[in-house]
């Protein structure tokens, strides 16, 4: 949450900072700002609202100088406003800083600072950091930052500039991501890689408790004691095109359409004949895995839904008991982790605060951690014992789509691997399943070719108010995901239920015309779903059915039917998800929503 960017070099500071902020807009977009140092003066521009407002402000009155910091905000403390936007400055306009995270003890610190006659201009927690750095400043920015952060509780990534030291940006990371980009006669810093890609592919990922001093021709790193440390740089492979919309009106639509390729790339990377290759960061031995007593999956939002699907897969294929929990619950519930469990963290960003905290809880108890992560080198990837990367490419739309189907793919493959190690499936059963996986991309493309059908359905239902999504078995979590997609981007209320639960309460909500999306593909629970749909039809609900090609019965039941190609029950969530994503997308577009930047949300949730 919140995007930080910083630049020192010869390029025009306005364009570099703005281009970086546009790339980070998915992290927050309620206000933004920039600051630079020129001739001993601190120059700050901050505006409420979308980044375009800042761009217009800078077009009128550009910043001067060769060193600057910028920020796009997702408000935590203080409403979105010009004053609360970052950069925040101290009393003397000598220090300016941008911050991502939360200072949990800000109230106490603010009280102290007020007593010492500091004057506050915002309601943010961030402003206390600026005042403290200013108060601690005695000619050495590095020292004053280190002294200041020793007083802070919570999570924070900061980038600081100072009028007295106009040749450097000091950055510090604790709990929120910061990546330094190493260029030629220029250096950059950002919360995420896309903001650096236009300038360099050589990056250094900062760890918690590390401070960096960035100058035009060098970057140095220090630990909390101020001792110099050496850090390795690495080169990233993402192309600039992978972060563009390439002709699609929204990132979300582009990412939905990328899914067949993502699955194909993953097949090519991870299935080697009859063997699985989970990549260089997968470090567990077959023996360790065969001896697992159970699996605990913890994740948030869409990643939690994928994890829930994983539970069905692990239990069905590998016959291994699997718990699934939402990370914000898992981290505070004192879970029992006896035996030889494996804790799995599933996350697109690899930075989600609650998922990270859940991982650390488990690590503190010496439990093995396997993470499924999209962003290489992210905190969760680095802190896990083993990582399977999603290899989905950058996901920029706030609503997760391709990362979700890739997560299901990885869980499917990993469950097959476990079933091999535990002898719960034999070779020919596994080979058959591999064949079915290999047929997926073609089937996914077939669904995407019928996008217009979904668009037509969306037109019919765009004004409906309360949606229910129902499914059974492995498609119960898919129903939850369908409801989440719709509500988060269209702001239409939607809720997901296991179909069998309807008569235990929720069916009371059904009246004439109530929209219900029912997942009734051919499966072990197909007949049960038919009965549930009948019950809804008897109460005059408008049922949209996701069914399997060739199913004639379903046609008679659903008000609208969307057919997916035939596939096995355990793989069906990957196919079923696509029409659900498209349905949410088109309803949101028809309602004029800002699909890639839904209100109140941000892509990377780095605060709890
Ligand atoms: C919804 C969505 C969120 C994320 C959740 C976890 O479309 O994207 O629910 O799934 O915030 O994020 P990651 O996967 O980055 O841990």
Catalytic residue among 2, 162, 300, 567: 2
Q: Mind spelling out the 3-state secondary structure of 539-608?
A: CCCEEEEEEECCCHHHHHHCCEEEEECCCCHHHHHHHHHHHHHHHHHHHHHHCCCCCCCCCCCCCCCCCC
Measure the CA dihedral 125/130/136/140, to 10°. Answer: 140
Q: Mind listing the pLDDT tens digit for each residue in 59-118? A: 999 999 999 999 999 888 889 999 999 999 999 999 999 999 999 999 999 999 999 999
Query: By alpha-carbon position, which residue is closest to atom 7 of ligand 1?
Result: 399
Q: Which of 389, 400, 406 to mutate to test the pocket of ligand 1 (most atoms within 8 A of CB)?
A: 400
Q: Is 52 helix (H, G, I), strand (E, B) or coil?
A: helix
pLDDT of 240 reads 66
399: CA distance to ligand 1 center in Å? 7
Main-chain dihedrals φ then ψ at residue 322, nearest 5 degrees? -135, 125
305: CA distance to ligand 1 center in Å? 10
Contact 89, 145 (CB under 8 A): no
DSSP bridge pairs for 369: 343
Measuring CA to CA, how many Å separate 557 from each of 182, 529, 532? 60, 11, 11
Please state the atom number of ligand 1 nearest to the C-alpha of residue 304: 10
Residue pointed to by tokens 């014992």: 385
Q: Which of 27, 303, 489 to mutate to test the pocket of ligand 1 (most atoms within 8 A of CB)?
A: 303
Q: Mind listing the pLDDT tens digit for each residue in 377-427? A: 899 999 999 999 999 999 999 999 999 999 999 999 999 999 999 999 999
Mean pLDDT of 205-233: 96
**Distance from C-alpha of 433 to C-alpha of 318, rounded to nearest angstrom:** 13
Active site residue 2: yes
133: CA distance to ligand 1 center in Å? 34
Sheet holding 368-373, edge to edge: 322-326, 295-299, 342-347, 368-373, 386-389
Percent of the chain with pLDDT over 90: 89
Contact 317, 416 (CB under 8 A): yes
Non-local (6+) Cβ contacts of 20 within 8 A are 3, 5, 7, 70, 188, 190, 195, 196
Instruction: Classify strands 467-471 and 179-182 as parallel, antiparallel or unpaired.
Output: unpaired
Pocket (CB within 6 angstroms of ligand 1): 300-303, 347-349, 352, 355, 399-400, 484, 488, 605
Please state the atom number of ligand 1 nearest to the C-alpha of residue 349: 15
Query: By alpha-carbon position, which residue is closest to atom 6 of ligand 1?
Result: 300
Catalytic residue among 110, 311, 443, 603: 603
pLDDT of 74 reads 86
Q: Mind listing the pLDDT tens digit for each residue in 476-531? A: 999 999 999 999 999 999 999 999 999 999 999 999 999 999 999 999 999 999 99
Q: How far does the chain reach from its first CA to its final CA, in angstroms?
A: 10
Nearest partner of 391 among 408, 381, 376, judged by Cα: 376
**Distance from C-alpha of 414 to C-alpha of 390, rounded to nearest angstrom:** 12
Kindly indicate the confidence band of residue 274, based on its pLDDT and cuts at 50, 70 and 90.
confident
Query: By alpha-carbon position, which residue is closest to atom 3 of ligand 1?
Result: 301
**Distance from C-alpha of 46 to C-alpha of 81, rounded to nearest angstrom:** 9
- Check whether 185 has a pLDDT greater than 90: yes
**Burial class of 603 by CB neighbour count within 10 A (0 to 12, 13 to 18, 19+):** buried
């Amino acid at each position: 949450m919140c995007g930080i960017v910083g630049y020192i070099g010869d390029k025009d500071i306005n364009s570099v900072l703005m281009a970086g902020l546009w790339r980070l807009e998915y992290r927050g977009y309620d206000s933004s700002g920039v600051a630079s140092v020129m001739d001993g003066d601190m120059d700050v521009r901050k505006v409420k609202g979308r980044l375009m407002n800042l761009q217009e402000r800078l077009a009128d009155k550009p910043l001067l100088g060769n060193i600057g910091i910028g920020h796009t905000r997702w408000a935590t403390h203080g409403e979105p406003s010009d004053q609360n936007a970052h950069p925040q400055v101290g009393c003397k306009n000598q220090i300016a800083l941008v911050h991502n995270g939360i200072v949990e003890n800000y109230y106490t610190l603010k009280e102290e600072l007020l007593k010492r006659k500091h004057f506050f201009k915002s309601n943010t927690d961030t402003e206390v950091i600026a005042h403290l750095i200013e108060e601690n400043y005695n000619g050495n920015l590095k020292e004053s930052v280190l002294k200041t952060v020793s007083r802070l509780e919570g999570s924070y990534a900061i980038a600081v500039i100072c009028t007295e030291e106009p040749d450097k940006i000091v950055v510090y990371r604790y709990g929120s991501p910061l990546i330094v980009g190493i260029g030629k006669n220029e250096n950059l810093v950002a919360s995420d890689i896309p903001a650096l890609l236009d300038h360099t592919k050589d990056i250094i990922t900062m760890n918690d408790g590390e401070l960096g001093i960035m100058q035009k021709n060098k970057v140095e790193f220090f630990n909390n004691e101020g001792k110099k440390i050496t850090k390795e740089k690495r080169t990233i492979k993402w192309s600039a095109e992978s972060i563009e919309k390439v002709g699609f009106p929204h990132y979300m639509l582009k990412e939905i359409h990328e899914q067949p390729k993502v699955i194909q790339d993953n097949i090519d990377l991870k299935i080697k004949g009859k063997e699985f290759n989970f990549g260089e960061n997968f470090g567990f031995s077959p023996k360790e895995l065969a001896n697992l007593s159970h699996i605990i999956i913890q994740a948030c939002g869409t990643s939690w839904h994928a994890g829930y699907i994983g539970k069905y897969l692990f239990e069905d294929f590998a016959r291994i008991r699997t718990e699934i929990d939402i990370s914000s619950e898992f981290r505070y519930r004192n879970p029992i982790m006896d035996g030889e469990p494996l804790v799995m963290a599933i996350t697109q960003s690899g930075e989600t605060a609650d998922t990270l905290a859940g991982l650390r809880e488990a690590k503190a108890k010496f439990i093995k951690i396997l993470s499924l992560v999209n962003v290489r080198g992210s905190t969760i990837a680095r802190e896990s014992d083993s990582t399977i990367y999603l290899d989905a490419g950058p996901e920029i739309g706030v609503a997760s789509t391709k990362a979700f189907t890739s997560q299901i793919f990885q869980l499917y493959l990993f469950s097959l691997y476990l079933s091999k190690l535990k002898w719960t499936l034999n070779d020919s059963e596994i080979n058959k399943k591999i064949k079915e996986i290999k047929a997926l991309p073609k089937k996914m493309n077939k669904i995407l070719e019928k996008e217009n059908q979904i668009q037509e359905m969306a037109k019919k239902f765009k004004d409906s108010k309360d949606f229910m999504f129902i499914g059974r078995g492995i498609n119960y979590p898919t129903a939850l995901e369908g409801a989440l997609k719709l509500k988060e981007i269209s702001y239409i209320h939607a809720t997901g239920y296991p179909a069998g639960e309807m008569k235990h309460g929720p069916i009371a909500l059904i009246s004439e015309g109530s929209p219900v999306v029912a997942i009734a593909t051919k499966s072990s629970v197909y007949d049960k779903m038919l009965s549930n749909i009948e019950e809804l039809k008897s109460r005059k609900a408008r049922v949209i059915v996701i069914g399997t090609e060739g199913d004639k019965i379903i046609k008679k039941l659903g008000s609208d039917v969307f057919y997916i190609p035939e596939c096995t029950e355990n793989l069906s969530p990957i196919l079923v998800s696509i029409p659900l994503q498209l349905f949410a997308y088109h309803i949101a577009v028809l309602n004029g929503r800002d699909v890639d930047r839904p209100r109140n949300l941000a892509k990377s949730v780095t605060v709890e």
